[in-house]
Structure 1
Amino acid sequence: MKNYLKFYGVFYILILAIIVTLGYTYTSNINKITENKVAPPIYMKDTATQPEDLPYIKGSVTGPIDVNKFAVSTPELIEKGKSVFNTQCASCHGAEGKGDGIAGANLNPKPRNFHSLEGWTNGPEFNMMYKTLQEGIVNRGMASYSNLPPDERFALIHFIRTLAKYPEIKPDELIELDKTYSLSAGLKTPNQIPVKAAIEILISENDTSKKIKTTQK
């Protein structure tokens, strides 16, 4: 009987030692075990902040422009600019240029209020306004108006400048515009298509080329 008790006593002590050892090993490696069991976090892209693709823009040929002619506002320029504004801009920016046009009601951010000089992406300076019309601001919903002749864009800017006290037009701004967009030399602007459309065209042309080669074999 004593031998049995002695045997079971040793057996229980051995089991207890194994349990303690396993427990110590588990607690010592708990961090590694957790890292292996917990799936890494998945970060979803915020589609609301993804930049839009390039818009379709028809190419154009622009004759030479003397930018110095547009350094000073004239009644004729303003009237011409107002006509361009009513045709091209009023639907989004509103008839009075307050950013309350019907077409821009659901846009976020809202269309520019031209009566305020705060919060401009490119700035309210003469050359920056031209830059906005020429290049657009894709992530702000502002389309490029490079299809408009430069003289119409200049006239439009002069009209918009009547809606608030805009910064003075500086000679170096005109020089920069001429240098950047080759206005005095004239400019040929190629067509622009979205990147997605360009990729589809390349894939289609590649498939057509493969079919021709296969047929020739």
Structure 2
Amino acid sequence: MKNSIVICSGVSKVYDTGFNKVTALHNLDLEVKKTQLTTIIGPSGSGKTTLLNLIAGIDKPTSGHIIVGDVNYSNLSEDQITAFRRKNIGFVFQLYHLLPVLTVIENVMLPLLPYQHSLGFNLKEKAMHLIEWVGLGNRINHLPAELSGGEQQRVVIARALIHEPSLLLADEPTGNLDSKTGMEIVKLFRTLVEDKALSVLLVTHDLRVAEESDCVINLHDGTITSIKYKSEVNFLEC
């Protein structure tokens, strides 16, 4: 546990539609190591997003246990999981979810605005620092519509880092980007791991993302079919 940011033990997720039951994840065991870029790959419907939602505490497993950091979700209420997620987990998704009427800096500050008077730092200064770090120092006062897709995704990354999470979850973060811009975003995740000691768990269809990953998990029909680490021979043949 000392070297792990996420542990899933015997995790299953079954959706009951009323007409039939659909198993999204089946008896899954998984360990995600700290301060690594871990990528989950697999076809549509393989359970990737379901797994990410369970790790985020947005959804609950039908059976099994999930531990993030040193916290077992089974021991927490929904309110406690929400509070834990707000402090410890950042999100980057394929759809940017930026508010169109807010500027870049306002969007980045938004998650902590309700708590800004109790923070131990200046929220605006922190937001400006993160925006500059993702390479958008000259876009601070721009609206989302004035940015390219890659620039908007960089804003989302800055927003996800505003509360200094220990774990960053990314669901198809390059899905709406061209290949060149997508790889620039992945390399930014790589920098987060190396420079900020952040743990990043990324879901994607794109095998090229594996080139920047420390670990690649192949998920198929709700079951892990392989786990490969960068040091292994034939790493990309997963």
Q: Given the two structures, how large is their TM-score scaled by the length of structure 1?
A: 0.30
More strand by share: 2
More helix by share: 1
Q: Given the two structures, how large is their TM-score scaled by the length of structure 2?
A: 0.28
Say which one has the larger Rg: 1
